[in-house]
């Protein structure tokens, strides 16, 4: 996503200093009708792709149809390859027909003229402007996608050499498993030109390797290795606001709009009991995890919705706190005193993400109340398959906001029809409540509805929120005005290098 953010500009963008605000991207203004079913975006006439081709409303229509269509061909392989983000367009009129193969185009997309894009939704959606702020929902040029991109007299697949409308462009095709290099795009007129001449996005096998390269002076920015946060603060200094770094204030620890949680399979015998799930929630010592694993730099989670999202209410998930005696009582209430009668549960996690210590602490916490669990470590693809197929008991999971609204947490994680609802929680009243909240155009009423829905979901304990993510990143001592926002996106335009 870091490269996509540098190379493409969506219709609108989230203000990096205030996630409650949207700012112009490819569009200079956007207007919904009275019930938020029809949205009109006026494009900046100065918008252009990095090859100099003007960006028009038709380019957004083409891009969105490619994302929505399950038969869209991967330009690298030549095979159909459904987009993993197509659900973001699910509210656009005609989405279901495209998914069912009845048509190739979304009925709700219309290029009124070169600079006017009209999007008609299948129902009111008051937060739709936030949806199209997703970095991957930028325009793409049809000719380059379908015919390839010229590079040194050869045609290169678009996926290896994408042409975007952002402040940077690729200088050469993607060197898989090594790097992606971009340079400033002289065609970019949607905002200020970047100070940097270019960026080399280096690819490493793990954060520890990248951090060693940073310490050796070979990188300007990276994630801090596990167990090194306090040492990094002592060595490089901490950013005052957690998001912006400068020499001597280089360690970034700002809160992210994301949540780390324990997924609970609500269909598994024993875990299908709300009181057992309540016991699990109450048994987890979240503060110990934050202190032991993250050196006190993260916050225990008391909600599935992070504090940076409008509609968050502190303590809304009343059982998401450490109370071992209450946890034991919940097992008694479930008919499993001291865990007697419950099977041994597996706790699954991906082996390449540094989750082992967290899972060990949770395993120990649960065993203190009589719930026996065994570790189940898998490589990433096998782990994801296991979750999506429901072939697990307990599993670590994380959710990073695609856009900073409560809907983006409550719908994907808990709507009974959502593919991301890996806990298989199902409450038709909650489904209806989420849909109704998004029809509400008054923002105060909408946020109140989402807050109530979050509490309702939390009372059922379908998952166990563990902690809110925070940055644990550092920049070099020649990096100035570097901003990593709560959406985990870097402001590549204003950063500069100098001694």
Residues 278 and 323 grouped into a single domain: yes
- What's the rounded mean pLDDT across residues 208-212? 93
pLDDT digit string, tens, across residues 24-62: 999 999 999 999 999 999 999 999 999 999 999 999 999
DSSP assignment letter at 350: E
Q: Is residue 234 domain-shared with residue 274, that is, in the same domain?
A: no
What is the CB-side half-sphere exposure of residue 459 using CA atoms within 13 A? 8
Helix (H, G, I), strand (E, B) or coil at 489: coil
Span 61-76, average pLDDT? 92
Alpha helices (H) in 318-379, listed in sequence order:
324-334, 356-367
Is 198 inside any structural domain?
no
Pairing of strands 473-475, 251-252: antiparallel
- Indicate which CATH number applies to the domain containing 261: 3.10.105.10
Domain finish residue from 169, 184, 199: 184
| Distance, CA of 4 to CA of 419 (rounded, Å) | 24
Residues 289 and 422 in one domain: yes
Number of Cβ within a 10 Å radius of residue 138 = 24
Looking at residues 463-467, what average pLDDT do you find? 97
123 near 35, Cβ under 8 Å? Answer: no
202 inside domain: no
- Evaluate whether residue 192 is within a structural domain: no
pLDDT for 358 beyond 80: yes
Domain range enclosing 25: 2-184
> In angstroms, what is the C-alpha Rg of the chain?
23
Let me know whether 461 and 477 are in one domain.
no
Regarding whether 180 and 239 lie in a shared domain, the answer is: no
Question: Are both 293 and 427 inside the same structural domain?
Answer: yes
Task: Indicate which CATH number applies to the domain containing 53.
Answer: 3.90.76.10
Q: Which residue from 204, 164, 209 is spatially nearest to 184, judged by alpha carbons?
A: 164
Output the pLDDT for position 436. 92
CA distance 437 to 344: 39
Q: How far are the Cα atoms of 129, 132, 158, 252, 442 from residue 35, in angstroms, in the given order?
A: 14, 18, 38, 41, 10
Whole-number Å distance between alpha carbons of 355 and 226? 10
Q: How many alpha carbons lie under 13 Å from residue 258 in its C-beta half-sphere?
A: 18
Could you give the C-alpha distances from 44 to 34, 251, 292, 423, in angstroms and in order? 24, 36, 49, 43
* Chain centre to alpha carbon of residue 480: 26
C-alpha 446/C-alpha 266 separation (Å) is: 28
Is 246 found in the same domain as 271?
no
Query: What is the three-class DSSP state of 128?
Result: helix
Please report whether residue 246 resides in a domain.
yes
Give the integer Cα–Cα distance in Å for 291 and 293. Answer: 6
Q: Tokens 């100098």 belong to which residue?
A: 498
pLDDT of residue 86: 87
Where would I find the beta strands (DSSP E) of 283-344?
A: 299-300
Query: What would the pLDDT profile of 295-337 be if each residue is shown by its tens digit?
Result: 888 999 999 999 989 888 899 999 999 999 999 999 999 999 9
Closest CA to 422 of 258, 257, 271: 271
Q: Please report, for residues 81, 86, 157, 299, the alpha-carbon distance to residue 70 in angstroms, rounded to integers and kept in the order given.
A: 7, 8, 19, 39
Report d(CA 124, CA 474) in Å as an integer.
42
Rounded Cα distance between 197 and 495, Å, is 11
Residues across the chain: 499
Confidence of residue 15 (pLDDT cuts 50, 70, 90): confident
Same domain, 464 and 376: yes
Is 196 within a domain? no
One domain for residues 478 and 414: no
Clarify whether residues 30 and 96 are in a common domain.
Answer: yes
Is pLDDT at 226 greater than 90 in this prediction? no
- In percent, the amount of the chain with pLDDT more than 70 equals 100
Query: Which is it for the CA torsion 96, 99, 103, 104, positive or negative?
Result: positive
Residue 478 lies in a domain: yes
Here the tokens at position 206 are: 């793990």
Cβ proximity of 257 and 487 under 8 Å: yes
Q: What are phi and psi of 87, to 5 degrees?
A: -65, -20
189 part of a folded domain: no
Indicate whether 61 belongs to any domain. Answer: yes
Contact 346, 393 (CB under 8 A): yes
Mean pLDDT value of segment 347-358: 87
End-of-domain residue from the set 139, 167, 184: 184
Domain count, the chain: 3
Q: Which of 168, 184, 200 is the last residue of a domain?
A: 184
CA distance 96 to 483: 39
- Tell me what pLDDT residue 193 has: 95
Q: What is the mean pLDDT of the segment spanning 83-112?
A: 92
The encoded tokens of residue 343 equal 């099977």
Check whether residue 87 and residue 225 sit in a common domain.
no
Percent of the chain residues past pLDDT 90, beyond the cut: 81
- Residue partners of 262: CB distance under 8 A and separation at least 6: 280, 284, 347, 362, 394, 395, 396, 397, 463, 464, 466
User: 294: exposed, middle or buried (C-beta count within 10 Å: 0-12, 13-18, 19+)?
Assistant: buried
- Average pLDDT value over all residues in the chain: 94
Cα–Cα distance, 304 to 413 (Å, whole number):
9
Alpha carbons 387 and 270: distance in angstroms, whole number: 18
* pTM for this entry: 0.86
Same domain, 343 and 447: yes
């Amino acid at each position: 996503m870091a490269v996509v953010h540098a190379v493409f500009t969506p219709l609108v963008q989230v203000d990096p200093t205030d996630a409650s605000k949207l700012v112009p991207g490819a569009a200079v203004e956007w207007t919904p009708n009275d019930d938020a079913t029809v949205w009109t975006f006026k494009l900046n006439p100065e918008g252009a792709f990095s090859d100099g081709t003007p960006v028009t409303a038709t380019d957004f229509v083409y891009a969105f149809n490619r994302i929505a269509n399950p038969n869209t061909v991967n330009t690298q392989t030549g095979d159909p390859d459904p987009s993993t983000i197509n659900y973001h367009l699910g509210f656009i009129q005609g989405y279901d027909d495209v998914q069912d193969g009845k048509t190739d185009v979304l009925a709700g997309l219309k290029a009124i003229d070169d600079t006017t894009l009209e999007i008609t939704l299948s129902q009111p959606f008051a937060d739709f402007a936030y949806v199209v702020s997703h970095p991957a929902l930028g325009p793409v040029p049809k000719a380059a996608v379908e015919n390839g991109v010229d590079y040194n007299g050869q045609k290169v697949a678009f996926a290896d050499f994408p042409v975007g409308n952002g402040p940077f462009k690729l200088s050469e095709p993607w060197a898989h498993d090594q790097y992606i290099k971009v340079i400033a795009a002289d065609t970019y007129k949607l905002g200020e030109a970047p100070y940097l001449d270019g960026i080399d996005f280096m690819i490493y096998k793990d954060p520890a390797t990248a951090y060693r390269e940073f310490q050796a002076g070979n990188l300007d920015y990276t994630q801090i290795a596990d167990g090194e946060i306090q040492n990094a603060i002592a060595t490089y200094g901490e950013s005052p606001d957690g998001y912006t770094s400068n020499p001597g204030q280089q360690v970034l620890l700002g809160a992210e709009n994301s949540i780390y949680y324990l997924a609970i399979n609500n269909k598994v015998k024993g875990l299908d009991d709300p009181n057992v799930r309540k016991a699990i929630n109450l048994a987890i010592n979240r503060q110990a995890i934050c202190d032991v694993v993250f050196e006190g730099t993260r916050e225990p989670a008391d909600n599935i919705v992070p504090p940076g999202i409008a509609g968050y209410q502190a303590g809304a998930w009343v059982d998401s706190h450490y109370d071992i005696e209450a946890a034991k009582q919940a097992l008694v209430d479930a008919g499993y005193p001291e865990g007697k009668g419950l099977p041994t549960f597996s706790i699954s996690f991906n082996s390449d993400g540094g989750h082992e210590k967290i899972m060990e602490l949770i395993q120990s916490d649960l065993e203190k109340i009589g719930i026996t669990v065994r570790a189940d470590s898998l490589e990433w693809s096998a782990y994801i398959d296991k979750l999506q197929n429901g072939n697990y008991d307990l599993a670590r999971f994380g959710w990073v906001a695609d856009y900073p609204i409560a809907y983006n947490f409550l719908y994907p994680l808990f709507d009974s029809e959502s593919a991301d609802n890996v806990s298989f929680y199902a409450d038709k009243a909650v489904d209806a409540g989420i849909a109704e909240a998004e029809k509400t155009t008054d923002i105060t009423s909408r946020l109140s509805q989402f807050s109530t829905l979050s509490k309702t979901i939390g009372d059922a304990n379908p998952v166990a929120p563990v902690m809110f993510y925070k940055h644990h990143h550092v920049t070099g001592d020649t990096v100035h005005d570097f901003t990593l926002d709560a959406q985990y996106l870097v402001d590549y335009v204003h950063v500069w290098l100098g001694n």
